[in-house]
C-alpha cells in the first residue's frame, strides 16, 4: 500500500486541487489484462467517471490513499470544467529517461503542465480547452476532456510550466496530425508512426507491400541495382558528391520498395548505416526535420512502386533515374533565418519555464523555512514557560520547608 509520499501533492496545479473531481485507483485484472479501476475515495467502492457522487476532494483522495490498499489517485474530466488531458504512452525509457522524438515535440509545442505517468514510461499533459474533434485515441496518443479520469502523480517535468496553459491552435494542429487517420490506415500502422517518426504526410494511394522488413531488404539487395542499395544500406557514400545525395538515393530505394509509405521509409532508414543525428534536426521554417524533407522529396521522385501482385514485377529504377546529380539540398536563407528564430524562441520558452520552476521551488523552500522558524519560536516559548514553572515550584517548596522549620 503506497503512502501519500508516492504522490507529489505540492506539484499538482492549484487549478485542479480546488475541484471535487478526485478518485483513487487500483490495479485489477480485466479479461486477463491489468486495468486501473477508479475507486470512490470516500466509500472505497468502485467509482464511475460519469457519476459525481462517486468522486471526492483531493484531501479525500489523499486520506484514502494513506488508509486503503489502492495504487494512486486520479482526476475526472467533465463537460463543466475547462480541462483537457493528453496522454502520451510508451514514449519514455524508464531506465535512462530518454524520450521518443515525437513525444518530446508534442511536450515542447504544448508548453503546459506535464507530469510523468505512474509507470514512468509515458506523460500526461494538462491544458485548458477541449478536444478539437471526435477522435480521442490513435496509437500511443490520447486526448480527453470529459467522462474520463487521468491518473495524477505530481511527478512534474521541470522543463514545462507548473501552470495549466491554453493552446487551442497548437492542440488543433496536433490532433489533426496524430489523431485523424487516413481512411486506409490500420491501427498497427498508426502505432508504428507514433513510435518511430513524426512524419506529417501519409503514404500515397498504393497497394500495401506485403513484405516484412527482412524480405524487403533481401529483395532490394537481389534486384538489378542491388549492389548500389546494399552499399548505401551499409552506410557507404562512395560515388556521391555528398552524404545528403547518398541519403536521397537510399530514401528513393526505400520509397520504391515500401510503396511510398513515409512511415516505413523513415523506420527503415533509421536502421541503415547512413543514419546520423542530422536526420532529426529541424532545418525548415515549418518545423520539418532534415529526415522528413528527405523522404518526402524522395517519394515525389519515384513514380512507380514495387507490387508483389504483378506476375512480372518491374525492375527497380537506376540511381541516375532516381537521383538528380545536384548539390546538397539546403534551406533557403529565409527558411534558415526563420528556422533559427523558431528554435531560439523555443529555447527561450524552455529556459523561462525552467526559471519559473526554480522560482517556485525557492518560494516553496522559503515557506518551509518560515514554517520551521515559527515552530522553533513556539517551542522556545514553551520551554521558557516550562522553566518558569520549575522555578515557581522550587520557590514554593523552599517556602514550605521554611514554614515547617
pTM passes above 0.85:
no
C-alpha grid cell for residue 72? 494512486
Residue with cell 495524477: 152
- Measured distance CA(301)–CA(351) in Å, rounded: 41
Residue with cell 523552500: 365
pLDDT, residue 398, reads 58
CB atoms within 10 A of CB 272: 18
Choose among 159, 329, 176: nearest CA to 243.
329
| Main-chain dihedrals φ then ψ at residue 195, nearest 5 degrees | -80, -35
Under the banding of pLDDT at 50, 70 and 90, the label for residue 204 is very low
- Measured distance CA(277)–CA(285) in Å, rounded: 19
pLDDT of residue 162 exceeding 60: yes
| pLDDT digits 0-9 by tens, 30-75 | 878 888 999 999 999 999 999 999 999 999 999 999 998 899 999 9
| Main-chain dihedrals φ then ψ at residue 107, nearest 5 degrees | -60, -45
- Measured distance CA(325)–CA(39) in Å, rounded: 65
pLDDT, residue 21, reads 97
pLDDT of residue 327 exceeding 60: no
> Distance between terminal CA atoms of the chain?
66
Residues in contact with 86: Cβ distance below 8 Å, sequence separation at least 6, in sequence order: 106, 110, 124, 125, 126, 127, 141, 142, 143
- Measured distance CA(231)–CA(268) in Å, rounded: 15
**288 vs 231, residue with greater confidence:** 231
Amino acid at each position: 500500500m503506497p503512502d501519500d509520499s508516492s504522490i507529489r501533492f505540492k506539484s499538482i496545479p492549484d487549478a485542479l486541487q480546488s475541484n471535487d473531481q478526485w478518485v483513487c485507483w487500483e490495479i485489477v485484472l480485466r479479461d486477463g489484462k491489468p486495468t486501473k479501476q477508479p475507486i470512490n475515495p470516500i466509500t472505497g467502492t468502485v467509482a464511475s467517471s460519469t457519476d459525481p457522487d462517486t468522486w471526492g476532494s483531493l484531501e479525500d483522495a489523499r486520506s484514502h490513499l494513506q488508509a486503503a490498499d489502492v495504487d494512486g489517485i486520479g482526476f475526472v474530466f467533465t463537460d463543466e470544467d475547462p480541462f483537457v488531458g493528453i496522454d502520451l504512452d510508451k514514449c519514455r525509457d524508464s531506465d535512462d529517461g530518454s524520450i521518443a522524438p515525437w513525444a518530446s515535440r508534442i511536450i515542447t509545442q504544448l508548453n503546459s503542465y506535464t507530469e510523468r505517468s505512474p509507470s514512468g514510461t509515458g506523460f500526461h499533459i494538462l491544458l485548458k480547452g477541449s478536444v478539437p474533434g471526435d477522435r480521442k485515441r490513435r496509437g500511443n496518443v490520447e486526448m480527453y476532456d470529459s467522462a474520463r479520469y487521468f491518473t495524477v502523480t505530481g511527478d512534474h517535468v521541470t522543463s514545462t510550466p507548473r501552470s495549466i496553459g491554453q493552446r487551442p491552435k497548437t492542440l488543433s494542429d496536433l490532433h489533426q496530425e496524430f489523431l485523424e487517420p487516413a481512411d486506409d490506415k490500420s491501427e498497427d500502422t498508426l502505432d508504428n508512426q507514433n513510435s518511430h517518426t513524426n512524419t506529417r504526410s501519409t503514404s500515397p494511394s498504393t497497394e500495401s507491400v506485403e513484405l516484412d522488413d527482412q524480405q524487403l531488404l533481401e529483395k532490394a539487395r537481389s534486384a538489378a541495382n542491388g549492389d548500389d542499395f546494399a552499399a548505401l544500406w551499409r552506410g557507404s557514400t562512395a560515388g556521391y558528391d555528398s552524404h545528403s545525395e547518398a541519403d536521397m538515393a537510399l530514401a528513393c530505394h526505400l520509397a520504391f520498395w515500401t510503396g511510398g509509405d513515409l512511415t516505413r521509409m523513415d523506420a527503415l532508414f533509421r536502421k541503415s548505416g547512413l543514419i546520423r543525428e542530422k536526420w532529426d534536426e529541424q532545418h525548415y521554417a515549418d518545423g520539418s526535420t532534415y529526415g522528413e524533407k528527405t523522404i518526402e522529396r524522395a517519394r515525389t521522385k519515384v513514380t512507380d512502386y514495387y507490387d508483389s501482385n504483378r506476375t512480372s514485377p518491374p525492375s527497380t529504377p537506376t540511381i541516375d533515374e532516381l537521383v538528380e546529380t545536384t548539390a546538397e539540398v539546403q534551406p533557403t536563407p529565409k527558411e534558415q533565418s526563420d528556422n533559427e528564430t523558431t528554435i531560439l524562441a523555443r529555447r527561450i520558452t524552455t529556459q523561462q519555464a525552467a526559471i519559473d520552476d526554480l522560482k517556485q521551488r525557492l518560494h516553496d523552500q522559503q515557506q518551509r523555512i518560515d514554517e520551521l522558524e515559527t515552530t522553533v519560536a513556539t517551542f522556545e516559548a514553551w520551554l521558557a514557560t516550562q522553566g518558569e514553572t520549575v522555578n515557581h515550584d522550587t520557590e514554593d517548596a523552599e517556602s514550605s520547608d521554611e514554614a515547617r522549620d
